[in-house]
Amino acid sequence: MEATALAHPNVALIKYWGKRDVAMNLPAVGSLSLTLGGLRTQTMVRFDATLQSDQLLLNGKPDDRALSRVSRCLDLLRARAGVSSKARVETSNDFPTGAGLASSASGYAALVKAAAAALQLDADADFLSEVARIGSGSAPRSLFGGIVLLDAGIGTDKTTCRTVAQPAEWPLQVVVAITSRAAKEVGSTGGMESSRDTSPYYGAWVVTHPADLAAGLDAVRKHDFTRLADLSEASCLKMHAVAMTSQPPLLYWSGVTVECMRVVQRLRREGLPVFYTIDAGPQLKAVCLPDAVTRVQAELQQVPGVLDARVCTLGAGAWVEQ
């Protein structure tokens, strides 16, 4: 009744921001992401009939804030397996937690994978990705490797997720410029609710998103880096425009983030195959073709305030440790 699983975080190129159903955590829009091979979460789940309640240890410390979402995922898996025992969950990240590096995505992907293995559940990928989504909307993407599409399933009460290109098919690389290790003040969940309720641009974001997603997918299929670069930067800026125009405003960038954006813009003008994307935090991710990675890393490392610039290749979907 015990298993350990590992998962990489992911970064969306065509972003998810907004929910159409909060209780089911159904997204208002789909997304297209890269699974980041260089960073990882490791999660151990042990079901134990002597426990009175579920327990969660995050990076060695009890974490009661995330416990109710974790228990909700565990409940769905327990119901499927016909097991009632509570569980102890021990999870740790080898990168900053809750700081815009998608630790919730890798966290819930590893949780679901480990718990299903501990319960010896013979569940298909669709069921596991539904459970992971209840934990975090971006988590199903970390169950899959390479370049991943999450279909929002508008008009249904489901989402579907799948790999659209394996790492070897188009070996993009990502330089993650870490500009702060602090946890963000407003998490994605609260931010999205605020945007839906208050941003005058939220409606336009949702209406224009399907065309962005279709175009992003087409660029991936054709390995058209320049087009993917334009679409990804535009999706990132649109998402942040919605966040910034929420009340109270959500400005996830720091001055260092903006400096990094300027560096990537300059490198692009010089003809380097690179573009940026930024999630709900101050870190910048520079996506590039393998030839550009050494220069991109060196340039970002030199920006004052960049603490670290880590290179990630595309990674595999979540897996159980044998």
Interaction site with ligand DP6 (CB under 6 A): 12, 15-17, 25, 31, 104-105, 136-138, 188-189, 192, 279-280
What's the closest the beta carbon of residue 298 comes to ligand DP6, in angstroms?
Answer: 27
- Strand ranges across the sheet with 147-151: 10-14, 31-35, 147-151, 160-165
Alpha carbon separation from 10 to 28, 142, 251, 309 (Å, rounded):
19, 6, 21, 16
Pick from 211, 215, 245, 242: nearest CA to 230: 215
If the CB atoms of residues 31 and 246 are measured against ligand DP6, the closer one turns out to be 31
What's the closest the beta carbon of residue 118 comes to ligand DP6, in angstroms?
Answer: 23
The H or E element containing residue 253 is none
If the CB atoms of residues 192 and 300 are measured against ligand DP6, the closer one turns out to be 192
What's the closest the beta carbon of residue 322 comes to ligand DP6, in angstroms?
Answer: 28
If the CB atoms of residues 15 and 40 are measured against ligand DP6, the closer one turns out to be 15
What's the closest the beta carbon of residue 103 comes to ligand DP6, in angstroms?
Answer: 9
DSSP 31: E
Residue nearest to ligand DP6 (CB): 137
If the CB atoms of residues 66 and 229 are measured against ligand DP6, the closer one turns out to be 66
Q: How far apart are CA 211 and CA 231, in angstroms?
A: 10
What's the closest the beta carbon of residue 73 comes to ligand DP6, in angstroms?
Answer: 12
If the CB atoms of residues 73 and 293 are measured against ligand DP6, the closer one turns out to be 73
What's the closest the beta carbon of residue 302 comes to ligand DP6, in angstroms?
Answer: 26
With tokens 């459970």, the residue in question is: 131
**Taking a C-beta distance cutoff of 8 angstroms, is the pair 149, 162 a contact?**
yes
What's the closest the beta carbon of residue 270 comes to ligand DP6, in angstroms?
Answer: 28
Structure tokens at 150: 């999450």
Instruction: Give Cβ neighbours of residue 122 (< 8 Å, ≥ 6 apart).
Output: none
Q: How far apart are CA 33 and CA 251, in angstroms?
A: 22
If the CB atoms of residues 158 and 295 are measured against ligand DP6, the closer one turns out to be 158
If the CB atoms of residues 31 and 71 are measured against ligand DP6, the closer one turns out to be 31
Alpha carbon separation from 37 to 10, 128, 171 (Å, rounded):
9, 21, 11
